[in-house]
A and B are shown apart, each in its own frame.
Chain A
Amino acid sequence: MHSNPSPQHRRVGDSPVIKWLLIGIAIAITVGLLIIPLLVIFLEALGAGWGTLADNLLDQYTLHAIGLTLFVAALTVPLNLAFGTALAWLVTRFRFPGRKLLITLIDIPFAVSPVVAGLLYLLLYGRNGWVGSWLADQDMQLMFSWPGIVMVTVFVTCPFVARELIPLMQQQGSEEEEAGVVLGASGLRVFRTITLPNIKWALVYGVVLTNARAVGEFGAVSVVSGNIRGQTNTLPLHVELLYQDYNIVGAFASASLLAGIAVLTLVAKGLVEWRQARALNRLQTEETA
């Protein structure tokens, strides 16, 4: 062991061959499977020039799809923000039978294929479904219209906020809130001045993820939307329709929009993480100073 010529002893698993091999594989996969496809989307969209791209995006059906997608996200995000916060509060601040089961159940939308979720909603709320047939008698239609799209999107994205909050709130405990109440603060004041600032960045992170998924959801939405152009066609569905119409440039133009949103999401996510790390760092450096 002492014959090792290097002045510093290497740690276990620190062999340079393995290190560079792993780095190489990681780079190859990232470039081949992530970066090149992403670049191709933008290149194809711009292949016929900026003018064509603008024409394709300003097409009335595309504009409607963009509008519908944003509308669905705008409804889904606040709904799941409220639901996720309430759920995280419930399972971290109260003890009740079935609490562990509930925490596991939150993950169902992640575990189940979105297509299956869409089908379930169709069977339940569709014209011939249990609830849907009654609703049809009341002259209400949920499936193949925007309420159905919102319902499945809410279902698919509901774990994001809760998943971000639960571990954080578990780790922080409820002592600070108790201290606030002992000091005479009202429930609202405790939430506003103590709980919210403590979970702020996790909340933002959860919203960013929820929004990204709500905008991009395809499987569940495609089952319940009915793909009616100009009515129930969201952006991801629109991409597929255009592609099936052999309008490749149009498909890529819409796809580039979705990809753009994804990139923006990543930037926002990175920003949030950087802010969190910086806040933590500042505290630590000042502590040691």
Chain B
Amino acid sequence: MTITVNGINKRFGKYQALNNVSLDIPEGKLTALLGPSGSGKTTLLRIIAGLESADSGRINFAGQDVTGLHVRDRNIGFVFQHYALFRHMSVAQNIAFGLESLPRKQRPSRAEIHKRVTELLEMIQLPHLAKRYPAQLSGGQKQRVALARAIATRPQILLLDEPFGALDAKVRKDLRRWLRNLHDEFHFTSIFVTHDQEEALELSDQVVVMSQGNVEQVNEPTELYARPDSRFVFDFLGQVNVLPGEVQRGRLSQGKAWVTVPGSRHQGSAQLYLRPHEVRLANEPGQYAHLPLRIESVSLIGSEVRIELSPVGWQSNSPDNIWEVGISHAEFNQQRPARGDLRYAVPEVGHLFNDNDSQPTTINWAEAASAPLVRLIN
């Protein structure tokens, strides 16, 4: 079931929570609504569910206008941020609630309900906890029960509000994988809200980045990370190193730092955005960049060695005036960078925002350097 969101506006008093939002949610896909708090993502989810009504705009399910349809009749599965399990009902009673709420004609028999509940309990791997009460469950168990309860009536749409927000890191990872499998098995059209960019990129088929009630960008996770459309998306999706400066005659400079910007005809202020993996560290400045940095800290935890550096003789406007570069453990073992060492950043790919342009120009220094060669061969 595709979901179409058309020109939704929502105001809370003076605060514009959603500003003319339009979206297409493809059938059978897992879509993430990603944004910082206050970006309107939860409000949008609640409007799609019917828990909140929009001031204007329409919602369609599979081409059918459901804007005026009561939440009770939309037949969606909804998982609340804090699970919202019925505290005085057992796990089994919680899961059975939706089936028992069906109109008499559609309601399955007691035996059938019992069978379905047992089936769902096995699916969430908690059959031994059927008689427990929500207060006796761990966070991860509660989340599974909430999911089972939401899909008991076999809805075609599954909406999840910050489904992993309240869980610790280990449980979160397990549940994420489990949710992805569940989604692939049942082919819901799912939307989940999150403020965690890693979660959105890892779990979803499509990411909707939101900010201040607007949709900033919609794309597949890999595309979104590689080609952010705006400074906001750039900043929000992962760590970024920034060199703000002035462009003059093909060179962006500030203080002691400069970078050539091949192909740019712009003159005046600009900002260069670099992802940690788009930068190498060298003992000498390269031919197209001079970015001296001093190592502030080295973190070995993870699949990559994360190095934090502070600019020497220039300023970055990233948070805390820190650049972050990732190198492989092999590289680390060879070079043994230590706190206090001086290094030069050598960018490979970068994204240049001129003045107040919202869209960046991507610069690839390696390609630019080899370009004349390519032309010769041609």
Contact = CB atoms under 8 A, between A and B. Distances in A.
B10 to A, nearest CB: 14
A185 B73 CA distance: 10
Q: Which of B80, B85, B149, B153 has the most CB of A within 10 A?
A: B80
Contacts of B127: none
A198 B78 CA distance: 21
A178 B149 contact: no
Interface string B210-243: 0000000000000000000000000000000000
Contact of A179 (B75, B78, B88): B78
Contact of A181 (B71, B135, B136): B71
Nearest to A286: B136
Given A182-B76, A183-B149, A184-B153, A189 B84 contact: no
Contacts of B86: 176, 179-180, 193-194
A184 B84 contact: no
Given A183-B97, A185-B101, A175 B80 contact: yes
A186 interface: yes
> What is the predominant secondary structure among interface residues of chain A facing chain B?
helix
A194 B86 CA distance: 7
Contact of B72 (A176, A185, A194, A287): A185
Contacts, number: 64
A32 interface: no
Given A181-B72, A185-B97, A283 B133 contact: yes
A197 interface: yes
Interface string B37-58: 0000000000001010000000
B103 to A, nearest CB: 8
Q: Which of A178, A180, A183, A189 has the most CB of B within 10 A?
A: A183
Interface residues of B, number: 27
Interface residues of A, number: 20
Interface string B225-264: 0000000000000000000000000000000000000000
A194 B153 CA distance: 19
Given A175-B80, A178-B84, A179-B86, A184 B72 contact: yes
B266 interface: no
Nearest to A185: B101
Interface of A: 175-176, 178-186, 189, 193-194, 197-198, 283-284, 286-287
Given A183-B150, A186-B72, A287-B136, 18 more contacts: A176-B86, A179-B80, A179-B85, A180-B86, A181-B71, A182-B76, A182-B78, A183-B153, A184-B72, A184-B75, A184-B98, A184-B101, A185-B72, A185-B97, A193-B86, A197-B88, A198-B87, A286-B132
Interface of B: 49, 51, 71-73, 75-78, 80, 82, 84-88, 97-98, 101-102, 132-133, 135-136, 149-150, 153
20 contacts: A175-B82, A176-B85, A178-B51, A179-B78, A179-B84, A179-B85, A180-B101, A181-B71, A181-B72, A182-B71, A182-B72, A182-B76, A183-B149, A183-B150, A184-B72, A184-B73, A184-B102, A184-B153, A185-B101, A193-B97
Leading 7 A-B pairs by shortest Cβ distance: A175-B84, A183-B98, A185-B101, A179-B84, A283-B135, A184-B101, A182-B78
